[in-house]
């Protein structure tokens, strides 16, 4: 590359000298006949550093801004290029590479070609792109003074003041645009400060007030139903949904306060996932109300006019499609959705069968949502009680079913979401966490909690994978309070491990009133080399023994990490060291805690998370984040998705990557890239994407040499549909029923004799897949020896097609829905040749697959 640059300098010097009349005076005709030119074909592989340079070029910045000057969406996407190091549909290489190629190859003459090899990837989800553009908002002393007032010098936030963040953002961020995101970094304490010897005044609102108008509220009530994203809370005035976006650490009968901001979703009011939930105690008993049976017409009416939460009985067909669990009810035009049920609530074998669903109607948009408490086959006698009811019931004979969520040597904990109960036997059980199990037998009370403990009858129903809720951190105060108000919950606490024979106790610093007691741990949970060391215990509390020992069914015991101070460079705005971080998003009128969707959890790395890395930012995120996710979510289930937000460099730029759990490990999703190629040609002194070799929009009647070849129609008149007014062409093997068809769509001749790196590109979508894949019906082939029939007789046209040799199918990423996507595949194997490209469509009537395929804007180009 260096000699190219030097040659360019030498030529520039020569042309400068030639600017006077000397050549014309002494060497007539020299300028016209002897001008030095260099026509070359070169290849450029983009290095990581090139992407940032491409994004920062003023020509490219202006081009991106011109595409959407008001919202600047293209400029935002271009600015991401230096981070993502990949081109996408929005950051198109043909738009932004010409200026970069010109900056490197300005000395080359017209007719020169440069083949650029670069990374191309899927477009980032919009929410991820917005997070990657987020700026830091570090709370300062002035911010804390605004929160607490001049009379108190407090430089941190607490549960009562967390709701002040939106107001601070409103004051501190000037002219925000809808969708803007900020990472708020702040100091945090669970403990409220003293106000001259007294506590801060506390006001408890009625749930009916929180339902009436969106705003900031603190309510108190009882948990009356749960699902894997939160719970339904009730007081004497009404019910409200508490959407935590994580598995709740609460069960029916728990008495809690909830403090946060309410908003409307699915036409019902709810608390969002930044709400603060505080457990106050638990009820002495619990039972679900008598459900009201809903007809199809009544369900339609509920969708049209959502009037709160109702405990309902619904009979209909259960339809399971991947993670979606729906309900079709006779007489209803609207479909129901079973919202985020716990494992064990839905028996997958009931798919397609009539069932009786009991649960709460919790809102509706185009369909109604159900927080189900039971799903049983129609006509079946339900002999099972909910675990939540049994856990608070009088001793007696009961039968329950649920998921094993943890175990020790002498039993396991069983949960159906409504509650948790210990199943005890001194000989233990063979079940493992995740198993769906039914249990029947005598329930007795021990250590303040009901348990199955007299030779219970247990039967495994199916496999599963257990996922724990976010651990409740128990400090000294919380540990001491537990002695008088015990509960079963997933917790973590830290102390000194002492091992004595079969006793595993944890001494809590700062108190002699209580200790942790790890009960009957299974092999591998406690490493005895940790004896005498500070450890962090994660697991489920099981009550109190001996008046001071907090019994724990441990899931994980690890050596406690020493918290180190995290230094921040002087460019950070805050004068108060943060120990917490959260995302907030501007919705066009206000700042709210950011939650993208129920299916994607957003995990913001906290300052303490960076300690183990030895730095307060991630320079090697790809290596660190899978480990971070493994430790943060030990009970992840196959298919779970998390967006991790972190500081990606020494400038503390906010970055985000999307990861999915494949059942074994966390795998990065949003930066799947592959190498692509594009050729640029210099013409009239400018670089542009090289010429197209064939194009066909496939709108209207088939044209530009393309033609249809019907091999088999099975009673249909056609498979490929074209005609006046069509904007694209489509293929379908369905007419009144699925048909057994084969039909081809062949392009005109494509001349690649002077091509460098051609590729085929077109737009496509699919419909009526019903779980199948469009590539099982459609394939794309190339022929070097096809000679179209000079005839209008279909049998002769078919014979010509079948006489040719057609390649194996070209490789594509195929559409999976009616959403149109751009498809592309290399044609490098056919450089120097003349070819035809053909789309082959095949449908079947047995077992029956006849999807619809749409295609347009077909082009073969560099």
pTM higher than 0.75 for the full model?
no
**Residue 45 is encoded by which pair of tokens?**
């592989």
C-alpha distances out from residue 745 to 18, 136, 778, 816, Å: 58, 54, 11, 21
pLDDT at 149 over 70: yes
Pair 696, 681: CB distance under 8 Å: no
User: How is 357-380 classified by DSSP, letter by letter?
Assistant: EEEEEEEESSSEEEEEEEEEETT-
Write down the pLDDT at residue 73: 77
C-alpha distances out from residue 48 to 52, 118, 119, 401, 847, Å: 8, 10, 10, 54, 49
Any idea what the Cα angle at residue 662 is, between residues 657 and 666, rounded to 5°? 35
**Residue 410 is encoded by which pair of tokens?**
């002498």
pLDDT at 409 over 90: yes
Q: Give pLDDT tens digits for 581-637.
A: 999 999 899 999 887 554 578 889 998 888 777 778 887 888 889 989 988 888 888
**Residue 706 is encoded by which pair of tokens?**
């393309």
pLDDT at 34 over 60: no
**Residue 216 is encoded by which pair of tokens?**
């900031």
DSSP code of residue 70: T
Write down the pLDDT at residue 4: 30
pLDDT at 567 over 50: no
DSSP code of residue 576: S
pLDDT at 14 over 60: no
Peptide bond into 165 cis (omega under 30): no
Write down the pLDDT at residue 160: 85
Going by pLDDT thresholds of 50, 70 and 90, the confidence category of residue 16 is: very low
Level-2 CATH architecture, domain 691-861: Sandwich (2.60)
Q: Which phi and psi angles does 703 have, rounded to 5°?
A: -150, -175
In 3D space, the residue among 781, 770, 757 whose CA is nearest the CA of residue 852 turns out to be 770
387-460 topology per CATH: OB fold (Dihydrolipoamide Acetyltransferase, E2P) (2.40.50)
DSSP H/E element including 624: helix 621-632
Q: Give pLDDT tens digits for 682-721.
A: 878 888 887 789 989 999 999 999 999 999 999 999 999 9
**Residue 649 is encoded by which pair of tokens?**
């460099």
Q: Give pLDDT tens digits for 492-548.
A: 999 999 998 889 999 998 888 999 999 999 999 999 899 999 999 999 999 998 889
- List the chain domain ranges: 1-34, 37-122, 207-282, 292-377, 387-460, 472-544, 595-671, 691-861
DSSP H/E element including 208: helix 207-212
In percent, the amount of the chain with pLDDT more than 90 equals 56
Poorest-pLDDT segment among 664-673, 698-707, 758-767: 664-673
Level-2 CATH architecture, domain 292-377: Beta Barrel (2.40)
Alpha-helical (H) ranges within 18-72 are: 22-26, 30-33, 48-56, 58-67
Level-2 CATH architecture, domain 207-282: Beta Barrel (2.40)
Residues with Cβ within 8 Å of residue 350, at least 6 apart in sequence: 318, 375, 377
Domains 292-377 and 387-460 are alike in CATH topology: yes
pLDDT at 413 over 80: yes
């Amino acid at each position: 590359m260096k000699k190219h640059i030097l040659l360019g300098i030498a030529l520039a010097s020569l042309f400068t000298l030639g600017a006077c009349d000397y050549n014309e005076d002494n060497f007539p005709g020299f300028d016209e006949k002897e001008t030095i030119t260099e026509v070359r074909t070169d290849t450029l592989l983009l290095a990581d550093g090139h992407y940032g340079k491409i994004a920062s070029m003023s020509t490219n910045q202006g081009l991106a801004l011109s595409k959407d000057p008001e919202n600047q969406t293209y400029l935002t996407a271009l600015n991401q290029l230096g981070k993502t190091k990949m081109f996408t549909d929005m950051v198109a290489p043909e738009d932004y590479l010409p200026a970069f190629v010109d900056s490197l190859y300005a000395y080359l003459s017209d007719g020169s070609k440069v083949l650029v090899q670069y990374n191309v990837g899927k477009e980032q989800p919009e929410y991820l792109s917005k997070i990657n553009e987020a700026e830091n908002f570090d709370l300062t002393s002035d911010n804390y003074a605004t929160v607490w007032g001049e009379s108190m010098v407090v430089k941190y936030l607490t549960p009562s003041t967390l709701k002040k963040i939106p107001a601070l953002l409103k004051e501190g961020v000037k002219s925000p645009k809808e969708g803007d995101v900020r990472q708020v970094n702040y100091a945090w304490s669970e403990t409220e400060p003293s106000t001259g010897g007294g506590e801060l005044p506390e006001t408890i609102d009625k749930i009916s007030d929180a339902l009436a108008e969106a705003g900031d509220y603190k309510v108190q009530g009882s948990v009356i139903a749960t699902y894997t994203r939160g719970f339904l809370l009730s007081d004497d005035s009404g019910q409200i949904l508490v959407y935590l976006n994580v598995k709740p650490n609460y069960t029916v009968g728990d008495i809690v306060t909830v403090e946060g901001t309410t908003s409307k979703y699915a036409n019902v009011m709810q608390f969002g996932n930044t709400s603060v939930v505080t457990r106050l105690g638990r009820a002495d008993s619990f039972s679900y109300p008598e459900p009201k049976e809903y007809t199809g017409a009544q369900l339609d009416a509920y969708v049209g006019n959502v009037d709160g939460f109702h405990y309902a009985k619904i009979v209909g067909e259960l339809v399971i499609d991947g993670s979606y669990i729906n309900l079709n009810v006779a007489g209803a035009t609207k479909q129901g959705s079973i919202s985020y049920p716990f494992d064990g609530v839905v028996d997958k074998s009931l798919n397609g069968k009539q069932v009786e669903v009991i649960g709460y109607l919790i809102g509706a948009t185009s369909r109604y949502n159900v927080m189900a408490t039971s799903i049983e086959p129609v006509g079946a006698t339900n002999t099972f009680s909910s675990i939540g009811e049994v856990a608070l019931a009088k001793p007696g004979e009961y039968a329950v079913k649920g998921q094993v969520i943890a175990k020790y040597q002498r039993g396991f904990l069983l949960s159906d979401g409504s509650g948790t109960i210990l199943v005890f036997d001194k000989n233990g059980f063979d079940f493992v966490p995740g198993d769906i199990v039914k249990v029947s037998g005598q329930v007795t009370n021990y250590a303040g909690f009901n348990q199955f403990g007299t030779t219970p009858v247990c039967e495994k129903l199916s496999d599963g994978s257990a996922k724990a809720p976010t651990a409740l951190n128990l400090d000294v105060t919380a540990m001491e309070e537990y002695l008088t108000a015990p509960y079963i919950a997933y917790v973590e606490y830290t102390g000194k491990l002492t091992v004595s024979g079969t006793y595993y106790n944890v001494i809590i610093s700062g108190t002699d009133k209580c200790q942790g007691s790890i009960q009957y741990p299974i092999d591998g949970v406690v490493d005895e080399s940790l004896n005498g060391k500070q450890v962090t215990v994660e697991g489920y509390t099981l009550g109190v023994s001996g008046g001071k020992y907090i019994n724990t069914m441990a899931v994980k015991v690890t050596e406690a990490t020493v918290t180190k101070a995290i230094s921040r460079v002087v460019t950070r705005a805050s004068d108060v060291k943060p120990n917490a971080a959260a995302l907030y998003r501007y919705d066009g009128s206000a700042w709210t805690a950011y939650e993208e969707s129920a299916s994607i959890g957003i995990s913001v790395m906290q300052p303490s998370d960076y300690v183990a890395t030895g730095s307060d930012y991630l320079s090697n995120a790809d290596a660190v984040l899978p480990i971070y996710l493994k430790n943060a979510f030990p009970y992840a289930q196959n298919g779970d998705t998390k967006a991790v937000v972190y500081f990606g460099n020494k400038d503390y730029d906010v970055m985000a990557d999307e990861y999915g759990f494949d059942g074994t490990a966390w795998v990065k999703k949003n930066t799947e890239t592959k190498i692509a190629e594009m050729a640029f040609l210099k013409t009239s002194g400018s670089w542009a994407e090289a010429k197209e070799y064939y194009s066909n929009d496939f709108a209207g009647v088939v044209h530009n040499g393309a033609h249809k070849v019907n091999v088999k129609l099975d009673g249909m008149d056609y498979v490929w549909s074209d005609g006046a007014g069509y904007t694209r062409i489509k293929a379908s093997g369905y007419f009144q029923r699925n048909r057994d068809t084969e039909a081809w769509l062949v392009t005109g001749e494509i001349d690649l004799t002077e091509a460098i790196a051609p590729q085929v590109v077109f737009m496509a979508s699919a419909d009526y897949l019903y779980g199948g894949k469009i590539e099982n019906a459609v394939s794309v082939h190339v022929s070097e020896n096809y000679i179209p029939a000079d005839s209008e007789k279909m049998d002769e046209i078919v014979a010509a097609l079948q006489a040719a040799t057609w390649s194996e199918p070209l490789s594509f990423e195929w559409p999976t829905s009616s959403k149109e996507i751009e498809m592309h595949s290399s044609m490098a194997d056919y450089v120097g040749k003349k070819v035809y490209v053909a789309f082959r469509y095949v449908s079947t009537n047995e077992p029956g697959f006849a999807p619809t395929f749409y295609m347009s804007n077909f082009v073969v180009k560099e």
